[in-house]
């Protein structure tokens, strides 16, 4: 029989020792020889008895394999309870317990996190990743001091916990009036639900595919997918896959750059590049794009990473919008697309930058202070290790490479699914709308600018090649609206909106989209009056 290990986390005064005492009182730790390792000197003392030994430990570094092995040798307990210090890294402890040496003797049983509901909001906003790490790694969460705590607030805490940890059992501690003892009442447990919605769909899909194959086998003897007439869907399939095939490599480049930022580049270094002075910062945001000559879809994860690393939102937004405009490949392709008319390429850069900077200025003035990243409460937005582990500096090179790949992969899967939805919708629009819709609509004046901006949005053509498509519009539409197509198309389109949704909060993306459309439209109109 292996030694069971319980780990109890939570900040000072959150009720860790009280919980242990309650457990002792209820008899959980009575029958078996138990060692309690206390890493914190709290107000409450452990109620000792014959079977319980308390070991104090005040130094995080002294907890290593030897430390545990010695305790096991000295006491040969059946259970070890680690009352962890709330400010130490739980990940390190768990890694230690997972090490092959200790796994021979011990087995992790429960990871309990205790919460003082009265201070929860303050801690989650100020302690950030230390607390979210503890919550997301627990399998049991205890809400303490809930007597007289308003019900609505308790609900909001439950909601927050749910976003951080979908599988833990959550208990509410209430005082029983008559005997003045504490009772832990199970509030909710995700494990109790049979299957999540996603699981059901996944299962249904698999069953459908398998059933289909079996059905075809029974009916036709030998089965071949080519027996089914799928040519009707071939156009859709080809267009859909083509967008993914073209965008995936660029997104991979983007997430790798983002992962390298995350793992290898310290935050201060990135912040140093972006100066405090807004004017200088705008200049940096614009020129930074020249050094990222990659497809517009690769920029999104990088911009998200900049925000996460503490770069002001307006800088990141300006960078996001300006990068595809100043991309040397985009400029060159615009030159080629309009041979003998280099002015077009210059106008595109000038107008595009005007829009990018204006959007940046608006974000600077009206930008809210809230976090705009998805899953903002936990820094582990992609749920991978690189985002939660704090002290990356101590890691070995192999470990860092592992983290880069792990992070890049997690982020790719996160962003990629939004790209898939975006590509799907874009192709649906292309194949299902009536033919020649653009040539039949009025092509005069301001309306045509809106139409072309809309076309750019829904067609989602890669910014490096949209100039060639734009050229084919020149006969039907005035130059101003073709410019609208090229400026809008490079900055934002349906594919990018979904990519942004994978990184930023929904509300921020919608606001940003409206600001971009409104500004791009008005700026192009102004330039039209001046230039064309």
Please say which residue, 47 or 237, places its beta carbon nearer to other proteins.
Answer: 237
Q: What is the DSSP string of 22-86?
A: HHHHHTTTTSS-EEEEE-S--SSPP---TTEEEEE---GGG-SHHHHHHHHHHH--SEEEEE--T
Binding to other proteins by residue 76, rule CB under 8 A? no
Please say which residue, 183 or 437, places its beta carbon nearer to other proteins.
Answer: 437
> Using an 8 Å Cβ cutoff, are 116 and 15 in contact?
yes
Among the listed residues 112, 202, 203, 124, the one whose alpha carbon sits nearest the alpha carbon of residue 163: 124
Binding to other proteins by residue 194, rule CB under 8 A? no
Calpha distance 320→303 (Å, rounded)? 6
Calpha distance 493→454 (Å, rounded)? 9
12, 122, 186, 201: residue in contact with other proteins (rule CB under 8 A):
201
Binding to other proteins by residue 237, rule CB under 8 A? yes
Show the binding pattern over residues 84-103: x = contacts other proteins (CB under 8 A), - = does not: ----------x---x----x
386, 462, 487, 524: residue in contact with other proteins (rule CB under 8 A):
462
The minimum distance between CB 476 and other proteins, in angstroms, equals 6
**DSSP 3-state of 440:** helix
Please say which residue, 69 or 271, places its beta carbon nearer to other proteins.
Answer: 69
The minimum distance between CB 169 and other proteins, in angstroms, equals 13
DSSP bridge partners of 82: 7, 37
The minimum distance between CB 41 and other proteins, in angstroms, equals 28
446, 474, 525, 527: residue in contact with other proteins (rule CB under 8 A):
474
The minimum distance between CB 357 and other proteins, in angstroms, equals 28
The minimum distance between CB 419 and other proteins, in angstroms, equals 10
Binding to other proteins by residue 244, rule CB under 8 A? yes
Please say which residue, 118 or 474, places its beta carbon nearer to other proteins.
Answer: 474
> Using an 8 Å Cβ cutoff, are 495 and 420 in contact?
no
Per CB under 8 A, which of residues 340..379 are in contact with other proteins? Answer: 340-341
> Using an 8 Å Cβ cutoff, are 511 and 440 in contact?
no
The minimum distance between CB 402 and other proteins, in angstroms, equals 6
Sequence-separated (6 or more) residues with CB below 8 Å from residue 184: 22, 142, 171, 172, 173
Q: Looking at 8-16, 60-68, 280-288, 336-344, which segment touches other proteins (CB under 8 A)?
A: 336-344
The minimum distance between CB 410 and other proteins, in angstroms, equals 8
194, 222, 225, 397: residue in contact with other proteins (rule CB under 8 A):
225
87, 155, 235, 287: residue in contact with other proteins (rule CB under 8 A):
235
Per CB under 8 A, which of residues 276..335 are in contact with other proteins? Answer: none
Q: Which pairs count as long-range contacts for 374-378, CB under 8 Å and 24+ apart, including other chains?
A: 374/501, 374/502, 374/503, 374/504, 374/505, 375/163, 376/505, 377/124, 377/132, 377/160, 377/163, 377/164, 378/129, 378/132, 378/133, 378/136, 378/163, 378/164
Please say which residue, 24 or 108, places its beta carbon nearer to other proteins.
Answer: 108
The minimum distance between CB 251 and other proteins, in angstroms, equals 9
Calpha distance 101→199 (Å, rounded)? 36
The minimum distance between CB 93 and other proteins, in angstroms, equals 12
Cα within 13 Å of Cα(178), Cβ side: 0
257, 311, 469, 516: residue in contact with other proteins (rule CB under 8 A):
469
Binding to other proteins by residue 223, rule CB under 8 A? no
Computed over its alpha carbons, how large is the radius of gyration of the chain? Answer: 29
Binding to other proteins by residue 241, rule CB under 8 A? yes
Q: Helix axis angle, 129-137 relative to 151-164, nearest 10°? A: 80
Binding to other proteins by residue 526, rule CB under 8 A? no
Q: What is the DSSP string of 227-293?
A: GS--GGGHHHHHHHHHHHHHHHHHHHHHHHHHHHHHHHS-HHHHHHHS-SSHHHHHHHHHHHGGG--
Encoded tokens for 295: 């497809």
The minimum distance between CB 441 and other proteins, in angstroms, equals 11
Sequence-separated (6 or more) residues with CB below 8 Å from residue 283: none
Q: Looking at 162-170, 302-310, 508-516, 519-527, which segment touches other proteins (CB under 8 A)?
A: 162-170
How many beta carbons lie within 10 A of that of residue 213, not counting itself?
A: 12
Among the listed residues 182, 119, 111, 116, the one whose alpha carbon sits nearest the alpha carbon of residue 144: 116
Please say which residue, 13 or 466, places its beta carbon nearer to other proteins.
Answer: 466
The minimum distance between CB 256 and other proteins, in angstroms, equals 7
216, 465, 505, 513: residue in contact with other proteins (rule CB under 8 A):
465
The minimum distance between CB 452 and other proteins, in angstroms, equals 11
Per CB under 8 A, which of residues 420..439 are in contact with other proteins? Answer: 420-421, 424, 426-427, 430-433, 435-439
Show the binding pattern over residues 26-45: x = contacts other proteins (CB under 8 A), - = does not: --------------------
Calpha distance 443→9 (Å, rounded)? 66
Calpha distance 213→211 (Å, rounded)? 5
The minimum distance between CB 114 and other proteins, in angstroms, equals 17
Could you tell me how many residues of this chain bind other proteins (CB under 8 A)? 93
Per CB under 8 A, which of residues 390..419 are in contact with other proteins? Answer: 402, 405-406, 408-410, 412-414, 416-417
246, 376, 399, 525: residue in contact with other proteins (rule CB under 8 A):
246
Question: Which phi and psi (to 5°) does residue 23 adopt?
Answer: -65, -40
Please say which residue, 223 or 283, places its beta carbon nearer to other proteins.
Answer: 223
Sign of CA dihedral 313, 315, 316, 318: positive
């Amino acid at each position: 029989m292996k030694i069971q290990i319980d780990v109890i986390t939570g900040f000072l005064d959150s009720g860790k020792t009280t919980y242990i005492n309650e457990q002792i009182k209820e008899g959980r730790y009575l029958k078996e020889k138990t060692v309690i390792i206390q890493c914190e000197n709290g107000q409450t003392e452990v109620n000792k008895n014959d079977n319980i030994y308390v070991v104090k430990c005040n130094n995080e570094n002294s907890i290593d394999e030897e430390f545990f092995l010695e305790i096991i040798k000295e006491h040969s307990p059946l259970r070890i309870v680690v009352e962890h210090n709330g400010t130490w890294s739980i990940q390190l402890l768990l890694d230690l317990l997972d090490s092959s040496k200790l796994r021979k003797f011990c087995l992790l049983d429960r990871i309990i996190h205790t919460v003082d509901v009265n201070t929860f909001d303050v801690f989650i906003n100020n302690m950030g990743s230390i607390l979210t790490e503890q919550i997301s790694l627990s399998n049991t969460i205890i809400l303490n001091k809930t007597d007289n705590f308003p019900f609505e607030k308790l609900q909001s805490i439950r909601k927050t916990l749910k976003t951080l940890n979908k599988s833990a059992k959550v208990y509410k501690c209430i005082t029983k009036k008559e005997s003045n003892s504490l009772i832990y009442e199970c509030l909710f447990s995700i494990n109790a639900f049979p299957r999540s919605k996603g699981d059901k769909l996944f299962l249904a899909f698999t069953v459908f595919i398998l059933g289909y194959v079996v059905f075809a086998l029974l009916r036709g003897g030998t089965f071949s997918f080519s027996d089914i007439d799928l040519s009707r869907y071939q156009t859709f399939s080809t267009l859909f896959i083509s967008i993914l095939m073209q965008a995936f490599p660029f997104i991979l480049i983007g997430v790798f750059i983002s992962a390298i930022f995350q793992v290898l580049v310290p935050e201060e270094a990135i912040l140093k590049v972006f100066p405090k002075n807004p004017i200088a910062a705008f200049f940096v945001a614009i020129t930074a794009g020249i050094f990222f000559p990659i497809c517009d879809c690769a920029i999104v994860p990088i911009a998200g990473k900049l925000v996460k690393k503490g770069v002001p939102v307006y800088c990141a937004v300006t960078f996001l919008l300006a990068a595809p405009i100043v991309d040397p490949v985009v400029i060159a392709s615009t030159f080629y697309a309009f041979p003998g008319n280099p002015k077009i390429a210059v106008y595109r850069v000038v107008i595009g930058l005007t829009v990018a900077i204006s959007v940046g200025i608006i974000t600077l003035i009206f930008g809210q202070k809230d976090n705009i990243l998805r899953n903002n409460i936990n820094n582990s937005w992609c749920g991978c290790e690189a985002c939660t582990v704090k002290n990356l500096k101590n890691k070995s090179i192999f470990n860092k490479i592992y983290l880069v790949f792990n992070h890049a992969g997690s982020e790719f899967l996160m962003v990629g699914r939004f790209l898939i939805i975006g590509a799907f919708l874009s192709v649906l629009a292309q194949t299902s709308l009536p033919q020649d819709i653009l040539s039949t609509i009025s092509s005069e004046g301001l309306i045509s600018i809106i139409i072309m901006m809309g076309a750019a949005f829904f067609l989602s053509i890669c910014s490096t090649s949209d100039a060639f498509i734009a050229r084919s519009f020149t006969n039907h539409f005035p130059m101003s609206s073709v410019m609208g197509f090229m400026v809008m198309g490079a900055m934002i389109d349906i594919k990018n909106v979904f990519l942004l949704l994978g990184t930023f909060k929904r509300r921020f993306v919608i606001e940003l989209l409206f600001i971009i459309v409104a500004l791009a439209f008005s700026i192009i109109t102004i330039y039209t009056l001046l230039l064309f």
